[in-house]
Structure 1
Amino acid sequence: MKRIALLRHGEAEYGKGQSGDFDRKLTSSGKYRVERLALVLAERKFSFDLILQSPAVRTQETAEIISTAIEIKKKLEEKDYYLAEKDAWLEKINDLPEEFDSALVVGHNPGLSTLLDYYVGDYFLNLSPGMLAIVEIEVDSWKAITAGSGVLAEVIQ
């Protein structure tokens, strides 16, 4: 079985135009909510083999808070993850090495919410800032994942 968790970054500061979007930081409320989420994950002894994260400041801050609370074995950060859409995420996730059974994706909407929709089929859940959706998929290979093949196991916010 493969498990993928989709985490939209925490609430961020208002943007300063298109050029300032990348550098937006988490608000104090955004940090608090992600810290609370991290505590829940730690209490429940969550861990992930891999974290894939956007290099934007707000996603880095979100991933750092989570990473300090739970075990994450490997980190992948690529510029292509910034504002990535569903198809870009699918390409990256389908190419993950098979030794990884669980992955945490920290990114942006609308890409993460449409990715969640793809994995679980007809159900659409719009991820709000700091919301985590866990999808379980009964496959042995990341390449075998198809539309609707996942089960929404849990949503934590």
Structure 2
Amino acid sequence: MISIEPPPSRIYLLRHARSGWPQPGGRDFDRALDDHGYAEAEVVATLAADRRYQPELVLCSTALRCRQTADAIHRAFGEEIELSFIDELYNGTLETYLAVLDAQDAARAVMLIGHNPTMEELLEAMIGQDRMAALIPSGYPTAGLTVLDHGGPLMAAAGTWQVKDFITA
């Protein structure tokens, strides 16, 4: 399995906010946030900004609901945050998510906005199953934001990433 070695030394994992169901004949990719999802995205983005979390780079799935969640992040943190939209994050595997994060060697703080179940699998790979089950026993919620700091020597197995915070709306 791919390991994520600093940099980055801080990773933010944000599952997109709640979306509606696809319109008849519509594609899953084009599902938009519903009213509750817009509110979730704004609350989580505002809470993260209030806590002075500051990603340098946001890596985001190209699915509409992820782009709309990224818009809330962009508004809360300001124009200086670089946004990068990555097609492979939509329906991406754990290995894809890990590879995308591992390739980020220029930024110290990276946010990834993606989808479940891969977001949950990624968190488990980074902190271990027991710690993940204690943190989110009911699964990774929509608009859930995990703040992770590298907690030790180069990652050889799950557990060197430490959860600093977990924010939900």
One fold, TM greater than 0.5?
yes
Q: How does 1:1-150 map to 2 (within 5 A)?
A: 2-16=9-23, 20-71=27-78, 73-97=81-105, 99-122=106-129, 123-124=131-132, 125=136, 126-138=139-151, 144-146=154-156, 147-150=158-161
Q: Distance in 1 between matches of 2:121 and 2:148?
A: 13
CA shift in 2, pair 1:95/1:17, >3 Å: farther
Contact 1:55/1:77 (CA < 8 Å) preserved in 2?
A: yes
Deviation at 1:17, TM superposition (A): 7.4
One-letter identity of the residue aligned with 2:103: D
One-letter identity of the residue aligned with 1:86: L
Normalization by structure 1: what TM-score?
Answer: 0.88
One-letter identity of the residue aligned with 1:138: G
Deviation at 1:94, TM superposition (A): 1.1
Contact 1:133/1:156 (CA < 8 Å) preserved in 2?
A: yes
Deviation at 1:135, TM superposition (A): 1.0
Name segments (4+ residues, structure 1) moved above 3 Å. 16-19
Contact 2:152/2:161 (CA < 8 Å) preserved in 1?
A: no
How high is the sequence identity, in percent, across the aligned residues? 25
One-letter identity of the residue aligned with 1:59: C
Instruction: Please tell me the root mean square deviation across aligned C-alpha atoms, in Å.
Output: 2.0
Deviation at 1:18, TM superposition (A): 9.0
Q: Distance in 2 between matches of 1:79 and 1:60?
A: 11
Deviation at 1:148, TM superposition (A): 2.0
Q: Distance in 2 between matches of 1:18 and 1:151?
A: 43
Aligned residues: 153
Look up the match of 2:3.
Answer: none
